[in-house]
Amino acid sequence: MNNENRTPDYFDPWDQGSYRTGSVELPRKRHPLVGFLLVAVVLLMGVIAILGVMNVKLFSQLSQTPDNDMAVSLQIPEHMQAIEGPTETTAATEPLSKDSTITLEGQPNYVENVPQEGGLSLQAIYSQCIDSVVSITTQSSTGTGVVISDRGYIVTNHHVVEEAKQIQVLLSDDRKLQATLVGKDKASDLAVLRVEAEGLVPAVFGDSEGLRVGDMVCAIGDPLGVGLRGTMTNGIISAINRDITTGGRTMTLIQTNAALNSGNSGGPLINCFGQVIGINTMKIGDNMSIAGVEGLGFAIPSVTVKSIVDQLIAQGYVSGRPYLGIQGEEVSQLYQYYYRLPEGLFLTKVVSGSDAQRKGLTEGDILISLDGRQITGPEDLTTVLSGHKVGDQIEAVIFRNNHQYAVTLTVEEAKG
């Protein structure tokens, strides 16, 4: 078949050389099958009409048959009674019986939810704690914080302020304050900020060592950001001393089913007495990228928070944290293929004055292995360091200019 004169299936209506008002094709010859189908349809309609006439005649004959010949006896159960008259009219016009209607009764007086003897109601917990909860905003993240001192100290998560150049704190009374970073600790995911303000309300902290599975708890924070600040959710302690590994480090945390979402990070986990017994840090299904998981949130125990915060306020860092003075990112498979690079950690920063710098490491080097373990990304580096203490010697293999080099690095103490 010649397709040269057919209009293409796609045309550009904005093309100046195109003006389309309809098909310009010559009429096509109809296939004989089309005619046969039309005849079949006509015959079928005729058969249907004949059957209709026969049904009418049959019904007429049945209506003239004596009742004795065609009567059918129906057995009606005793609990069923016949409805006289047209059922449609009765259903539409008769009022509904009283038993069929929904009765709305007055509500009893509200009763506060007291979880156990000596505990506070959820309403009292919120009223007691909300003034100690603050919103934290940086150029790249949002989170929650807890006031720990009337001198302006606030605790939050390390990952909330990790890359912050400026930190803004929003108090419960709507005051907006600029905060300074006192210290942060990646291993525990805790950081301490300070604001210059009066009238701050410090939170009351409880001892997390006394927690039991099943204890009622609640969380207050900013799920999904400041737009929902001050949101309260409740639940129970689901597990204690739960070891969770994330980012190459293992943390011992409190597990709860209280709803936690992005933005709750750094906020308080509160017991039924209004005491902060943990700082919320993560949920499975978020940080661990496991979809469809609910009710698995985690908080840093208050005993850990106290130990870390005291050191951050006193010296700006946590003593004894192993450190090599290097930072990097994973070498992508695309870079490996096109630039013929090995799998490893591409160094994006070598801290001035660190042992790594003194041993000649520079930005652009690729760390292939450390302490005999292959390094594929930042998590591997963190994992290896977590097994060493300050002063240890570690053998590293570096890739540079298509050659590999071995170097011995000394583990130093991180100073924040």
What pLDDT does residue 95 have?
Answer: 53
Note if 158 is an active site residue: no
The first and second tokens of residue 127, run together, are 């009223």
What pLDDT does residue 38 have?
Answer: 75
Distance CA 166, CA 144 (A): 15
The first and second tokens of residue 324, run together, are 């090599």
Task: Write down the domain spans for the chain.
Answer: 128-194, 208-315, 322-413
Which amino acid is present at 372? G
CATH 3.40.50.300 assigned to 208-315: no
Domains 208-315 and 322-413 share a fold: no
The first and second tokens of residue 63, run together, are 């209506």
Catalytic pick from 132, 159, 185, 208?
Answer: 159
Q: What is the phi/psi pair of residue 17, to 5°?
A: -95, 10
Fold of 322-413: Pdz3 Domain (2.30.42)
| Whether this model's pTM surpasses 0.85 | no
Task: Say which DSSP state 217 is in.
Answer: E
What pLDDT does residue 167 have?
Answer: 98
What pLDDT does residue 247 have?
Answer: 82
The first and second tokens of residue 302, run together, are 């208050």
What pLDDT does residue 13 have?
Answer: 44
pLDDT per residue, tens digit, the chain (416 aa), is: 444 444 444 444 444 443 333 444 444 555 667 667 777 777 777 777 776 666 555 555 545 544 444 333 334 344 334 344 444 444 444 554 555 567 566 666 666 666 667 789 999 999 999 999 999 999 999 999 999 999 999 999 999 999 899 999 999 999 999 999 999 999 999 999 999 999 999 999 999 999 999 999 999 999 999 999 999 999 999 999 999 988 888 999 999 999 999 999 999 999 999 999 999 999 886 544 555 578 899 999 999 999 999 999 999 999 999 999 999 999 999 999 999 999 999 999 999 999 999 999 999 999 999 999 999 999 999 999 999 999 999 999 999 999 999 999 999 999 87
Q: Name, in order, each residue with C-beta under 8 angstroms of 333's C-beta and a sequence gap of 6 or more.
A: none
Fold of 128-194: Thrombin, subunit H (2.40.10)
CB atoms within 10 A of CB 332: 12
Task: Report yes or no: 183 and 303 within 8 Å, Cβ to Cβ.
Answer: no
Nearest by Cα to 123 from 272, 295, 275, 260: 272
CB atoms within 10 A of CB 124: 16
Task: Report yes or no: 373 and 391 within 8 Å, Cβ to Cβ.
Answer: no
What pLDDT does residue 5 have?
Answer: 47
Task: Say which DSSP state 109 is in.
Answer: P
Catalytic pick from 141, 158, 185, 189?
Answer: 189
Catalytic pick from 265, 302, 354, 369?
Answer: 265
Q: How many CA atoms lie within 13 A of 342 on its CB side?
A: 19
Note if 265 is an active site residue: yes
The first and second tokens of residue 366, run together, are 């690729």
What pLDDT does residue 291 have?
Answer: 57
What pLDDT does residue 24 have?
Answer: 44
Q: How many CA atoms lie within 13 A of 3 on its CB side?
A: 2
